[in-house]
Structure 1
Amino acid sequence: MPGSGRAAGARAAGLLLGVALDAATGDPRRGHPVAAFGRTAAALERRMYADSRARGAVYAGILVTGAAMAGVAVERATRGRCAQVAVTAAATWAVLGGTSLGREGRAMAKALQDGDLEAARARLPHLCARNPAGLGPKELARATVESVAENTSDAVVAPLVWGAVAGVPGLLAYRAINTLDAMVGYRNERYERFGWASARSDDVANWVPARLTALLTVACAPFAGGTMRRSHAVMRRDGAAHPSPNAGRCEAAFAGALGVRLGGTNVYGGRAEHRPELGDGPPPEVDDIRRAVRLSTAVGLAAAAVCAAGALAVRRGAAGTGTRPG
C-alpha cells in the first residue's frame, strides 16, 4: 500500500503534537469545538426528545455519525504529510482534556488548602456531576481524586486510543460519544430511556481505554510515591466492584497507587448512590489530589507514547494485508 508508512508516521506525529499543544495551551476559555458540538446536540435534543430508547438511539447515531463523517471529509481533503500532521494535531488538541483536568485538580487542592469551602464546592462541577452542596473537605478531596482517575481515561487515554486506531474520524467520533454521555447519559426520569444508547455507547468506547489506563496507572505508580505491586493488587481486587464497567478499574488502580480509599455515598441530582470502597488506605486529603494530578500527567504521557507506537503498528499492519501485483 504505497504511502502507508508516511501516513502512519503523520498520524503518530499528529497525536504527539496534539498532546504537546494541549500541554502548552489547555482548553480555550471561549470557542471550544466541543462546546460547539454540545450546543448542536442540545438543539437537536430539543427537536427529537421523547421518552424512548429508539428515539435516543437515532439521536446519538445522527450526532456520532456526523462527527465521524466530518473527520473522514477532513482527512480526505488533506494532502501532504505536513498538512496531515497538522490536521491530526488540531483534532487531538481539540478532544484532549488532560491539561484542563490537571488545572482543575490543582485549583481544588488550593481552595481546600486555603480552607475556602465555597470556592471548592463551586469548582467541583468542573470535574464531575456530583452535587457539591454540603460536602466537606474530605468528601471534596475524594470526589476530586475519583474524577481525576476516571477522566484520565475519558479525557486523555481514550481519545488517543481512538486516534491511533481511526485517525481524525476516531478522535471526533469518540469525543461525540463521550460528550453525549455527559449530556444525556443519566439514570434519571428524563434520560433513563432517551440517554440509554448514549450511555451504552460510551461504555463500549471506553472498555479498552479504561483497562489501558489502569495498566498504565500501575506502571506509573512510582511517580505518585506508590508501588506498582500495590496498585496492581487493588486494581485486580476492587476494580470490578464499581457499578461502572470502566471507571472502577481506573479508580481502583489510582487508589492503590496513592494508598488511599475511594468510594462511598455520592449524590447526583438529588439521588444518592452508594459506591463500594476501593483501596485500603485513609480517605484522600489535599496532598493526595496533587499526587493524583501528577499520576494522571504521567499516565497521559505514557499513553501518548503507546498510542503513537500503536498508530504506526495499525497502519503498517493494514499495509501488510494488501496484495502485491502479480
Structure 2
Amino acid sequence: MGTATILCLAMLLDAAFGEPKWLWDRLPHPAVLIGRAIGWADRQLNTGDARAKGILLAIGLVLGGWILGSVIEAFGAIFTIVAAAILIAQRSLVDHVKAVGQALRQSEDAGRTEVAKIVGRDTRDMSEADIARAAIESGAENLSDGVIAPIFWFLIAGLPGLLVYKAVNTADSMVGYKNEKYEDFGWASARLDDLLNWVPARLTALLIMASSGQFKGWSDIRDDAALHRSPNAGWPEAAMARVLDIALAGPRSYDGEMQVFPYVNEGGKQALGSNDIDRACTVLWRSWGIMLAIVCLIALN
C-alpha cells in the first residue's frame, strides 16, 4: 500500500473518530508522551551551556522520531494508518473551535472557559469579540501546525517524517520561547520548527483561499503575515481573515500584561461572534477536504 493511500485512510479515520475520550482517559496520548520526554530534558539539560544542549535535544528528537516511525511502519499498513490518524488532529481541532462558539451562545463566561482550553493568552476579561477572534486565530494556526504540516511531512517521508515533525513542533511549543529561561535552550527547536513549517504554513494559506474560491489577494496576505511575530503562523491567520473578511490579531493580554499587536486585515469586521466561529469551522473543513482530494489524487497516480 502506497504512502498516499495510507495517508488518505488515516485522514478519513481521524475525520470519522477524532480522538476518542474513552481511550485517552485510559492511555497517555502520544503527544503527551512526547511532551513528557521534552519536559524531562528541560529539567535535566537546561543549565550551563544551554545552547549546545538544546541543539542536542533537537537532534535527539529528530533521531528518536525517525526511529520510532520506522519501527511502527515495519509492523505494517494498519499500524501506520492508526498512528498517522492519531497524530493528524483535524476532527479534534474543529470540535474544540466549534465548542467555543457553542459556549459563547450560552454566555460570555462560558465562552471564556472554553476558549481558555485552546489559547495561551489571558481570558478573564475577554469580550465576545475577543473570544471569537481568539478561537478563529487558534483554528487557523492549528490547521497548519496540527493538520496540514503532519500531512505534508507524511507525504514527504512517511510516518518517520510525521513523527519528527510532531516531536519538533511539540518542543517548540514547550521550550521555543524568547525569554531568559529558553532563549538558548529552545533556540535549535524553534529554528528547526520554523524550517519544517515554512512550506506547510503557506500551503495552508493557499488551501484556505481555495476553500472559499478566492484566488486574489495573495500579496495582501503576504503583507499581513509579515506583521506576525512568527515567520509562519501569520500565513493561515491572514488567509482566514481575508476569506471571512474579518480582522484578527490585535491587542491581547499575556500574564496580566496587555500587548499591542497590529490587526491582520484591519479593515475587516471586528465585532465578531459565534456565527463567525461557525464560518471559520466551515473553512477548516473545506480546506481539509481540498487537501484530502490532493492526497487521493496522488494515491491514484
TM-score by length of 2: 0.90
State the one-letter code of the partner of 2:191: R
**Structure 2 CA distance for aligned equivalents of residues 135 and 301 of structure 1:** 32
SS in 2 for 1:275: coil
Give the CA deviation at 1:97.
1.2
**Structure 2 CA distance for aligned equivalents of residues 274 and 202 of structure 1:** 25
2:150 corresponds, among 159, 177, 180, to: 159
Give the CA deviation at 1:202.
1.2
- The correspondence of residues 267-282 of structure 1 with structure 2, limited to 5 A, is 267-279=253-265, 280-282=267-269
**Structure 1 CA distance for aligned equivalents of residues 161 and 90 of structure 2:** 18
Query: In the alignment, is the contact (CA less than 8 A) between 2:108 and 2:128 conserved in 1?
Result: no
1:300 aligns with 2:295: no
Query: In the alignment, is the contact (CA less than 8 A) between 2:209 and 2:239 conserved in 1?
Result: yes
Aligned residue pair count: 293
Give the CA deviation at 1:186.
1.7
Residues 246 and 297 of structure 1: is their aligned pair in 2 closer, same or farther, counting only changes over 3 Å?
same
**Structure 1 CA distance for aligned equivalents of residues 287 and 126 of structure 2:** 29
- The correspondence of residues 85-104 of structure 1 with structure 2, limited to 5 A, is 86-104=78-96
Structure 2 spans left out of the alignment, 5+ residues: none
Give the CA deviation at 1:44.
2.5
Segment drifting more, 11-20 vs 182-191: 182-191
Q: Who wins on radius of gyration, i.e. which is larger? A: 1
- The correspondence of residues 13-92 of structure 1 with structure 2, limited to 5 A, is 13-29=5-21, 30=24, 31=27, 32-50=29-47, 52-75=50-73, 77-78=74-75, 83-84=76-77, 86-92=78-84
Query: In the alignment, is the contact (CA less than 8 A) between 2:250 and 2:264 conserved in 1?
Result: no
Give the CA deviation at 1:189.
2.7
**Structure 1 CA distance for aligned equivalents of residues 161 and 55 of structure 2:** 19
SS in 2 for 1:241: coil
Q: Counterpart of 1:209?
A: 200
Give the CA deviation at 1:233.
5.6
Q: Counterpart of 2:250?
A: 264
**Structure 2 CA distance for aligned equivalents of residues 36 and 204 of structure 1:** 24
SS in 2 for 1:55: helix
Stretches of 4+ aligned residues off by more than 6 angstroms? none
Give the CA deviation at 1:16.
1.0
**Structure 2 CA distance for aligned equivalents of residues 121 and 197 of structure 1:** 34
Give the CA deviation at 1:107.
0.8
Residues 216 and 299 of structure 1: is their aligned pair in 2 closer, same or farther, counting only changes over 3 Å?
same
State the one-letter code of the partner of 1:287: N
Residues 198 and 22 of structure 1: is their aligned pair in 2 closer, same or farther, counting only changes over 3 Å?
same
Query: In the alignment, is the contact (CA less than 8 A) between 1:111 and 1:120 conserved in 2?
Result: yes
State the one-letter code of the partner of 1:277: Y
1:243 aligns with 2:240: no
2:216 corresponds, among 210, 223, 229, to: 229
**Structure 2 CA distance for aligned equivalents of residues 311 and 40 of structure 1:** 35
**Structure 2 CA distance for aligned equivalents of residues 312 and 176 of structure 1:** 30
Query: In the alignment, is the contact (CA less than 8 A) between 2:65 and 2:164 conserved in 1?
Result: yes
**Structure 2 CA distance for aligned equivalents of residues 184 and 244 of structure 1:** 15
Identity %: 39
Give the CA deviation at 1:256.
0.6
State the one-letter code of the partner of 1:266: R
Query: In the alignment, is the contact (CA less than 8 A) between 1:211 and 1:246 conserved in 2?
Result: yes
What does the per-residue CA deviation read over 1:256-285, in whole Å, with 9 as the maximum and x for residues that have no partner? 100101121233334544322211211232
Residues 101 and 25 of structure 1: is their aligned pair in 2 closer, same or farther, counting only changes over 3 Å?
same
What does the per-residue CA deviation read over 1:18-38, in whole Å, with 9 as the maximum and x for residues that have no partner? 111111111233221111221
Query: In the alignment, is the contact (CA less than 8 A) between 1:213 and 1:250 conserved in 2?
Result: yes
- The correspondence of residues 183-222 of structure 1 with structure 2, limited to 5 A, is 183-222=174-213
1:133 aligns with 2:119: no
**Structure 2 CA distance for aligned equivalents of residues 296 and 153 of structure 1:** 10
1:123 aligns with 2:100: no
**Structure 2 CA distance for aligned equivalents of residues 311 and 196 of structure 1:** 37
Query: In the alignment, is the contact (CA less than 8 A) between 2:108 and 2:127 conserved in 1?
Result: no
Quote the RMSD (CA, aligned, Å): 2.0
